[in-house]
A and B are shown apart, each in its own frame.
Chain A
């Protein structure tokens, strides 16, 4: 399990570092919201899911897409605007999707996919299917009305859904304490009748273990569960770089998160040779996927109106 989680963490970190490296060349014509520093949330949760489960995410969705098994080549091609992209070049970084892997889409409007995830869970319940839904969103989304409306309905109908709040404390550049009178997000879920747990976003093994238990509860008909995972976005809100020069937060605030980075923490638990082999395989895969994205064709003009409606 450790090796599998390490591969996933390392792969996401390195993919995003490569995106940041390539970004100044302007080959990637898509705003990117990097999840560097937050990878362990998606990796830990997705490792506890089954193939029949589905996930809904946000515009900061690279980590979720990759952790859930989304096709890397299709993701990078999407960022390059190529027709081989997961949304044929029409969605970009903020709208990744791979329905074959149960990745039902990411939205650029904060909070919107929470309700969609709840509706999907209703469909699963109605059809007496075995899957569950994991709904990923940030701390900012909890301020949207749709968050409260969605949790209420999920609790009312006892739906098979796990709410995953990635709390990196910032909505763009504004700290949670400047946006919310009550910072207790788990309390807000409990107020809707949903059991809630706060977790450390740098402890991928603990996230995995905890979520395994919660998923079991959900799958056995226990209704929705909520986790708040405390985490940290290392890079700027959107774009490849750091943003400490803006002054809204200090490097000192991020330092402890980087010191406790989930990646080397887990790496220390793995045999050195195995770790080296994983890293080499991932590097080759990323290099190959970048070549695929670069060499893929752009969509033809006829693609412009295609898919507006289903015929």
Chain B
């Protein structure tokens, strides 16, 4: 992963990095929470098990000791009710962070998120606002199965009034969480469990990664590849496979899915003429569909563009490794799809697996 981190850093935009230091994604989330709670006494943190010994993979470790059980607490198993409670706290002026160890559990809270959190400000004519952060984790591998693996971010992208962010690096994990906590609107903060184990540079100094700005994470001229959440890692790995066959991909991380920075993506596609969007979710009505539509609308009539998407297989996520492997895109299938797109034909090429581009610093049981 060192190679990927280097690539990402080299190709990143102005990251205002003044004190280079390597942190894991988990440490970055924990640090952002700690800094925001220290800065603003109205920030509170809760969810199932946030104060237990495992501390949500370590993202909440030590916070109950530092801020006390009133500002940091584990909740009853009541996703619907506790989401409503979080909204009430926000209406009263607190800045709650509500943690869900599985994004799948958000489906129990859709009424409060969609009918209340997203609607309050407009529906009440601007009299109130809901500064709420909902952290939701997408699972993958080790047999997570159908109800522990879903990437449901597009459901929320559909809804005006709620922002959606899916940071892929420790740098963005901290900066986006800080921005989300300070935002006066509800923000869904999507974390992929495999990203928790990624390391990368995180400045010591305070900073935010503001909504609505994508980042070009690798420069290239032949094709634009957009990778969402964990698929950003696989796309950066695909960059290396493609380079071996003389194809230079431009990789983009949208970071914020709502508001979505179509400008940056469309400008890249205007240069490359080709777009492949890779999501950690299904394709139909998904983030990938939205990005492709946005680019097509922006570039329509100005130049011919080739469009492709990759994401979950259109079925429930299986638990057996033999089928799970086929359910998800990976660096090699991304590279293969990109090469076909660039060459305009089915090449039948699948790069030989490279050990330095496959590692996952993650073992079960989760």
- Which A residues form the contact surface with B (CB < 8 A)? 54, 56, 85-91, 95, 97-99, 104-105, 107, 109, 112-126, 145-146, 148-150, 152-153, 156, 306-310
Closest residue on chain B to residue A144 by CB atoms: B80
Closest residue on chain A to residue B163 by CB atoms: A309
B128 touches A97 (CB 8 A): yes
A307 touches B125 (CB 8 A): yes
B70 touches A115 (CB 8 A): no
19 residue pairs from A and B, CB less than 8 Å apart: A85-B125, A87-B123, A90-B122, A97-B128, A115-B81, A117-B88, A119-B84, A119-B86, A119-B90, A121-B88, A126-B70, A145-B80, A149-B78, A150-B84, A307-B121, A309-B163, A310-B129, A310-B184, A310-B185
C-alpha gap A310/B121 in the complex (Å): 8
Task: Give chain B interface residues in 159-215, CB to chain A under 8 Å.
Answer: 160-161, 163, 184-185
* B149: Cβ under 8 A from any A Cβ: no
A126 touches B94 (CB 8 A): yes
Q: Which of B89, B112, B124 contacts A97 (CB 8 A)?
A: B124
Supposing A99-B127, A120-B92, A156-B76 touch, asked if A308 and B122 sit within 8 A by C-beta, the answer is yes
Which residues from B are CB-within-8-Å of A97? 124-125, 127-128
Chain B CB within 10 Å, residue with most, of A98, A148, A310: A310
Closest residue on chain A to residue B211 by CB atoms: A309
C-alpha gap A256/B112 in the complex (Å): 39
Which residues from B are CB-within-8-Å of A113? 84
B289 → A minimal CB distance (Å): 22
Q: Which of A124, A150, A152, A310 contacts B92 (CB 8 A)?
A: A124
B201 → A minimal CB distance (Å): 31
Q: Which of B78, B87, B94, B163 contacts A116 (CB 8 A)?
A: B87
A118 touches B88 (CB 8 A): yes
Closest residue on chain A to residue B259 by CB atoms: A309
Closest residue on chain B to residue A152 by CB atoms: B76
* B357: Cβ under 8 A from any A Cβ: no
Q: Which of B76, B93, B122, B124 contacts A105 (CB 8 A)?
A: B124
C-alpha gap A91/B124 in the complex (Å): 6
Which residues from B are CB-within-8-Å of A146? 80-81, 84, 111-112
B78 touches A153 (CB 8 A): yes
Supposing A112-B112, A114-B84, A115-B85 touch, asked if A88 and B126 sit within 8 A by C-beta, the answer is yes
Pick the 8 closest A-B CB pairs, nearest first.
Answer: A115-B84, A119-B88, A149-B81, A88-B125, A123-B92, A87-B125, A149-B78, A119-B85
* B115: Cβ under 8 A from any A Cβ: yes
Task: Give chain B interface residues in 81-125, CB to chain A under 8 Å.
Answer: 81-94, 96, 111-112, 115-116, 120-125
Closest residue on chain A to residue B92 by CB atoms: A123
B120 touches A105 (CB 8 A): yes
B128 touches A91 (CB 8 A): no
C-alpha gap A306/B123 in the complex (Å): 11
